[in-house]
Chains A and B, each alone.
Chain A
Amino acid sequence: MTGVPAVAPESALSRRFPPVAGLTIVSLGLVVIGGILMASYAPRRPPLGVPVAVTLVSAVLLLVSGYLTSRLRPFDWDRFFLVFRWALLAYVISAGMIGFAFVKDHVRGAPLAVVLVMLVIFALDVPLIIAFTVARYSSPAVHAGPLPDLSQSA
């Protein structure tokens, strides 16, 4: 016993983060909706208006998520990139397989381009959600620098 009161370490839950996971899940949901629209027309050529619109909105949400993530300080970037690159490898393989199936089914031209953009977003969305979720709980709870001494008047 030293006489100094023990201070419990602050839980990672106490820190608030921007809605990166939520935005990226919506982005993922939109490319899934676009994919369902495209797939439901197979083997015919699908109308591209709605799939292109949802893909654009999805891409914007992904970019916003990426931007919000890039501004996080302090943040466990080492862990973020460790998880992100392995998840990216896994989901690039998944997306590549889906893309291969569409090419094999003779999807060509604009529909193929839309599908490929959707797959790129899909392959980035999932690793971003996983890496952000892991890194947010590994990051400092509240504050990286020394806490201000509130006992001193300004």
Chain B
Amino acid sequence: MTNVGNMQAGVVGTAPVAARPTIQVVPLRGLPIVAAVVAFVIASIAGNWLWALTFCHVVGGGLWTAIDLFVGLIVGPILGRLSLAARAEFTARFMPKMVLLMPTLVLMTLAAGFQLALKLGNLSPASPNHGWLVASFCVVGVMAVIALGVLEPANIAVLFEMRKPNPDGAVIAKLMRRFVLTAGITGVMQVATLIIMTRVATQ
């Protein structure tokens, strides 16, 4: 637990940090897994394999929705009430995993989902699901802009700030507020995705 104290000293910017663990912004050990997932999705699209496309869409979408809801509505509010030291230590371990995990899940879900919708004819104007799918595009579009334009840059900027010998507590607090707020918004928007996808699956 010595890291906690060290992290706090660094965060408040009052003393040089002695033995803080090095923060890896992108966990390199996870990259082969990401490459394997991307290769599998590309092969599924190229081969037009119904099972593989369904697997990628359902598994990716389920994890994406569940993680967004959990982080936005459960972890985020808890994180906001933690002490600066606890928040910093949690962030140092949590954020690098999110840097790899979320873009991979989003890519897997959307690429496979679009291909699946085409293959099953759900995008055809004659399909009763057409309107629902366009609505889901809009929901995903808003979430993508929030996630890529606000949440991910804040996430990475926090990690870079925490790597400094004397991290600026005010910068970290501001970026973390942004992270918690946008994670909450995307979490709530995932409820709309759940409603749309269950409608599509049952029409």
Contacts and interface: CB of A to CB of B under 8 A. Distances in A.
B171 A42 contact: no
A152 interface: no
Contacts of B183: none
B149 A24 contact: yes
A11 B111 contact: no
A130 B141 contact: no
Contact of A97 (B26, B111, B134, B171): B111
Interface string B117-160: 01000011100000001100110010011001110111011001
B114 interface: yes
A45 to B, nearest CB: 13
A133 B141 contact: no
Contacts of B13: 9
B149 A100 contact: no
B42 interface: yes
B170 interface: yes
A90 B107 CA distance: 11
B137 A36 contact: yes
A97 B42 contact: yes
A47 B26 CA distance: 41
A113 to B, nearest CB: 19
B150 A25 contact: yes
Which label, helix, strand, loop or mixed, suits the secondary structure of the B interface? helix
Contacts of A105: 115, 118
A64 interface: no
A36 B168 contact: no
A118 to B, nearest CB: 12
Interface in A1-18: 9, 11-13
B174 interface: yes
B111 A13 contact: no
Contact of B160 (A21, A79, A98): A79
8 closest cross-chain pairs (CB), A and B: A133-B153, A25-B149, A32-B141, A36-B137, A130-B153, A40-B134, A133-B157, A11-B170
Interface of B: 13, 26, 38, 41-42, 45-46, 103, 107, 111, 114-115, 118, 123-125, 133-134, 137-138, 141, 144-145, 148-150, 152-154, 156-157, 160-161, 164, 166, 168, 170-171, 174-175
Given A126-B149, A133-B154, 16 more contacts: A12-B168, A21-B149, A28-B145, A39-B114, A39-B137, A43-B124, A79-B160, A86-B26, A94-B107, A97-B107, A100-B42, A104-B46, A104-B115, A125-B149, A133-B156, A137-B168
